[in-house]
Structure 1
Amino acid sequence: MTDLALYVHWPFCVSKCPYCDFNSHVRAGVDQARWRAALLADLAHEAAQLSANEPGGRRLGSVFFGGGTPSLMPPETVAAVLDAAAGHWPLAPNVEITLEANPSSVEAARFADLAAAGVNRVSLGLQALDDAALRFLGRAHDVGEGLAALDVAQGCFGRVSFDLITARPDQSLAAWEAELARALALGTEHLSLYQLTVEPGTRFATEAAAGRLVLPDGDAAADLFEATRAMMRAAGLPAYETSNHARAGAESRHNLTYWRYGDYAGVGPGAHGRRTDRDGRGLAVTRRRKPENWLAAVDRNGHGIEAEEPLSPHDRATEALLMGLRLREGVDVARVAALAGGVAPIDWRAVDRLEAQGFLARDGDRLRVREAGALLLDAILPEVVTG
């Protein structure tokens, strides 16, 4: 049985970025003691449900504090959650404990305490190495502050990653290549490189609808994507997932659990989870999204769950395909077929055609997207995965 992953959501931010559609909220004040107690109660409930499904137990392979801005969490809250998790499950010897952080000087001052609490990997939201771009993205830090925070992080944590956003308005290929070269020189083992997209309900969506925000066209975005893949591959940090790049062995083990369709527990507002019961059936678990509603639910019920929905064999197989084909390693078709109860939901005629075109490859029981198909993944998936 594979190790379990645990996701802990901290929903609060100092400000809302104009591109962000995550479950993040700005609040004037947070009752830290009440939130700590609620997270521990939600965690205890989820652990009890998993224990009931798995009498033999399972190790915890990774913990991920996401948000929002988890670096705003008091280190004692992080320590309390990790202590409780270790009481619910045995920890894998190399357990990966990641925390997302903003690269501000205020939050960097907490890094040593967060490391002492047990965090051993940090993911920094640098987002750009250009001050004008950071202002456009609504970030509170400038490049100097971000690099100083990165330096502190590299001194406190064994593993460090950071994010950059590309395909920004008026961004030239040469400017991005120079920015990416600077990022590579900073010496981290992992980079998450995302193309800017306009998500519904964000401030950027309003700006785009009014014609005040224009992103690079498809050809320009494709050039940026292909240059990114080539530069990262040449630097020894190839893409192991559509937007994530790492040296061998430095991949995010927590995120690999999602992409490999493993089980994970999610606690905190809006957190999702996937459980497998003792009979091998899947369950999708979602928690209340709004912080105040989640908190009230925990006070009332002892947990923040909004829904627990059974997943049909077809649903599970489809999810496994949609997630797994994002990975360079691809998916194990035999496993997908087992999840489906016999036949994988794959259109093999489409696979034959896309393989002949050089976009897909079959290696024994594995199906994967080739480098030439990575740019076209959003178009490939609906052709290959049957409804």
Structure 2
Amino acid sequence: MEDWEHGGFGLYIHWPFCQAKCPYCDFNSHVVAHVDQKAWENAYLSEIERIGAETSGRVLRSVFFGGGTPSLMDPDVVDAVISKVRATWPLANDVEITLEANPTSVEAGRFRGYHDAGVNRVSMGIQALNDADLKALGRLHSTAEALQAFDIARNTFDRVSFDLIYARQEQSVEAWQAELKQALSMAIDHLSLYQLTIEGGTAFGDRYTAGKLRGLPDDDGAADMYAVTQQVCGDAGLLGYEVSNHAWPGSESIHNKIYWQYGDYAGIGPGAHGRLTLDGQRFATETPLAPMRWLAQVSRTGNGEAGRMALRDEDQMAEFLLMGLRLVDGVSLDRFPKLLSIPYINKINDLCDIGVVAFDGRQLRATDEGRPILNAILRKLLEG
């Protein structure tokens, strides 16, 4: 069995269009006046056929429509893509097909069409549960619209997740705790809870550099919010299985676990990345960022990739640790025996001595104390 099969095989499809660009967002998303949905459908189908020929016979465990705002896609486009996927790969019995959605009333009305097309999980970008913070985050929906869309989703799909952002401007620990308890009261089975990060090249990044993004919590305040997140979700039974993700047992995201468990995934669409193991060699794939450039390239050449790079063993080990240590269960170093060599073991023992990782001779994981400083742990493991 090739190594990637420990993590499984998934498909990511990127829809790059949004109604508006959120000021904190550094994803590859674009606001345009018109989208030729049929042209995008044809490009997706062409790419699925191309990648399917390289990965014939693999069991596909998940499909993820990400963005951008995939809930701006016509349900007929989603139906055509899923039909093509079913004709291209054998699907796992519990295949997860997720679509990201924004909770506006118009998009919520599309949910039945997505369900009928085969989507069985929706991930909603709610981000906040009060109107003032939604406005500050550049969101187009109100709290009332979010709650209404969530109710429609819960009545349409077996599985629903939604995102919230914390460590927002002027947000207190007490306010975040109350908001989190409100989210947990909504019969939710999965939450993605992200600390607000200020990225260069975003509107928030520009404001922060200019000293105009005020009211952000300091490091201690953000750490307190992280600790409250773990406690409140844990008390409610929504376990933190990854740094930013909480779920009832059995409701974890299959697709995201493919990333974190270092499986293979194909990336289709502008700016989509992939990891594919072909003939024993693992490759990193990428695509052009500009939507119309990607669309034209697929139409002209039948191949939407901008490049494909063979990954060295050292690259793979670094990615394996970067992704896998985000999981509460950590990683088995048996997958890369070089990680059990003396130089790595010495670093691991040093980290064990200060209580930020635990290691039983095979399985390495970050402790509760280590998870908030995971980047520092990774720097220590990967230095030199």
Structure 2 length as normaliser, TM-score? 0.96
One of 29, 37, 45 as aligned partner of 1:32: 37
The residue aligned with 1:130 is: 130
Partner residue of 1:360 out of 327, 333, 357: 357
Per-residue CA deviations over 1:164-208 (Å, capped at 9, x if unaligned) read: 000011111110000000000001100000000001100001110
- The residue aligned with 1:347 is 344
Match runs of 1:161-200 below 5 Å:
161-200=161-200
Counterpart of 1:133 in structure 2: which amino acid?
D
Question: 1:305 aligns to what SS in structure 2?
Answer: coil
Contact 2:325–2:331 (Cα < 8 Å) also in 1:
yes
- Supply the distance in 2 between the matched residues of 1:343 and 1:386 (Cα, whole angstroms): 16
Secondary structure in 1 aligned to 2:364? strand
Please give the per-residue CA displacement for 1:292-312, whole angstroms capped at 9, x wherever unaligned: 110110011112110000001
Tell me the percent identity. 52
- Counterparts of 1:296 and 1:45, CA distance in 2: 16
Partner AA of 2:232 in structure 1: M
Determine if contact 2:333/2:340 at 8 Å carries over to the other structure: no
Q: Distance in 2 between matches of 1:248 and 1:5?
A: 21
Moved more, 149-158 or 269-278: 269-278
Q: Which moved more, 1:163-172 or 1:209-218?
A: 209-218
- Size of the aligned set, in residue pairs, is 378
The amino acid of 1:385's aligned partner reads: L
Indicate yes or no: 2:8 matched with 1:11: no
Distance in 2 separating the partners of 1:169 and 1:114: 35
What secondary structure sits across from 2:171 in the alignment? coil
2: CA distance between counterparts of 1:211 and 1:386? 34
Tell me if the contact between 2:16 and 2:69 (Cα under 8 Å) persists in the aligned partners.
Answer: yes
Q: Aligned ranges for residues 209-224 of structure 1 at < 5 Å?
A: 209-214=209-214, 215-224=216-225
User: Which structure 1 segments of 5+ residues have no match?
Assistant: 52-56
Deviation at 1:345, TM superposition (A): 9.8
- Secondary structure, in 3 states, of the residue corresponding to 2:19? coil
RMSD after superposition: 1.3
SS in 1 for 2:359: strand
Residue 58 of structure 1, CA deviation: 1.1
User: Take 1:291 and 1:25, find their aligned partners in 2: how far apart are those partners?
Assistant: 8
> Which residue does the alignment assign to 1:231?
232
Deviation at 1:352, TM superposition (A): 1.3
Q: Match of 1:254, as an amino acid?
A: H
1:33 counterpart SS class: helix
- Post-superposition Cα deviations, 1:241-265, rounded to whole Å, max 9, x if no partner, equal 1100111111000000000000011
In 2, Cα distance between equivalents of 1:171 and 1:33: 43
CA contact (8 A) 1:123 1:162 kept: yes
What does residue 319 of structure 1 align with? 319
Asked if 1:377 is matched to 2:382, the reply is no
Structure 1 residues 171 and 357, CA gap change in structure 2 (3 angstroms): same
Residues 339-382 of structure 1 show CA distances to partners (whole Å, capped at 9, x for unaligned) of x6x86696333321221222110134100001111111111110
Alpha-carbon distance between aligned partners in 2 of 1:68 and 1:344, rounded to the nearest angstrom? 42
Within a 5 Å distance, the mapping from 1:249-264 to structure 2 comes to: 249-264=250-265
Residues 269 and 288 in structure 1, CA contact (< 8 A), matched pair in contact too: yes
Answering whether residue 251 of structure 2 is matched by residue 246 of structure 1, we say no
Q: 1-side partners of 2:223 and 2:283: how far apart?
A: 37
Q: Residues 386 and 273 (structure 1 numbering): CA distance in 2 closer, same or farther, change over 3 Å?
A: same
- Asked whether the 8 Å contact 2:324–2:331 carries over to 1, the reply is yes
Distance in 1, matches of 2:302 and 2:333, equals 40
Compared CA separation, residues 35 and 199, structure 1 to 2 (3 A): same
Instruction: Indicate the residue corresponding to 1:54 in structure 2.
Output: none
